[in-house]
Amino acid sequence: MAAAEVSAGAGFHGRAKFRRMTEALKPLRDPAAMLERTLTEWGGHEDLWVFGYGSLIWRPEFDYVERRAAKVHGWHRALKMWSRINRGTPERPGLVFGLLAGGCCHGVVFRIPRENGRKEMALLWAREMKLAIYDPKWLTCHTTQGPVTALAFTLSKRSPSHTGVLTAEEYRRIFMEASGIYGTTYEYAHRTLEELKRHNIRDRGLEKLLKLIERDTPSRG
């Protein structure tokens, strides 16, 4: 093949990759409109509570004045949301957690003072809702000090970002191969499990998933 043809081919593949990356970055809905609706639902009359069930537990990136262990009924944590930027690529998607309907979920709630709620919500939105994949919902979170109503980022099973059922082999391959701008899917899942343990939260399903790769690479961690 001539040098010009090699260059042209590389350009074609480069443009195709850029197009896939651009498509992966397009919001599914209007994040700004969803933020305003959520702020209106909150109202700003009381402190703002946020429920963390994944990376928010170990990297909230917003200022809060109180943190409590919490339990939500009717939802469960699941590593079933495609990540084509943060923990994977369009060619080799990774995974992040979503809050799916059914079961229950142990996590953490954070309290943000009312006067800082709008500012911190905007920061949270820039992180979690850039692509408007999640469905923000106000859920009742049970704590030892009583119930609170907190904002949670849930995932619909109808979302194109929901993986559906994945086999053990598919999880193993993703753990071994998927990596994005913030690191690998494996690192993300492992860090979450370690933080859950630190808060005395047991997630047997996640433990089982991580063993799929850890028994093959026992020194990894």
The confidence score (pLDDT) of residue 5 equals: 36
* CATH number, domain 29-214, options 1.10.10.10, 1.20.210.10, 3.90.1150.10, 3.10.490.10: 3.10.490.10
96-138 confidence digits (pLDDT tens): 999 999 999 999 999 999 999 999 999 999 999 999 999 999 9
Structure tokens, 182: 């913030």
More confident site: 162 or 15: 162
DSSP secondary structure string, the chain? --HHHHHHHHHHHHHHHHHHHHHHTS-SS-HHHHHHHHHHHHTTSS-EEEEESSHHHH---S--SEEEEEEEEEEEEEEEEEESSSSS-SSS-EEEEEEEEEEEEEEEEEEE-GGGHHHHHHHHHHHHSSS--SEEEEEEEEETTEEEEEEEEE--TTSTTB-----HHHHHHHHHH-EETTEEHHHHHHHHHHHHHHTT---HHHHHHHHHHHTTSTT--
Residue 1: is its pLDDT beyond 60?
Answer: no
Residue 84: is its pLDDT beyond 50?
Answer: yes
pTM across the whole model: 0.85
* Contact residues for 13 (Cβ-Cβ < 8 A; gap 6+): none
Mean pLDDT of 166-184: 96
Buried b (16+ CB within 10 A) or exposed e, 172-204: bebbbebbbeeebbbbbbbbbbebbeeeebebe
The confidence score (pLDDT) of residue 10 equals: 45
Indicate the pLDDT class of residue 27, thresholds 50, 70 and 90: confident
Report whether 79 contacts 191 (CB < 8 A): no
More confident site: 220 or 152: 152
The confidence score (pLDDT) of residue 24 equals: 54
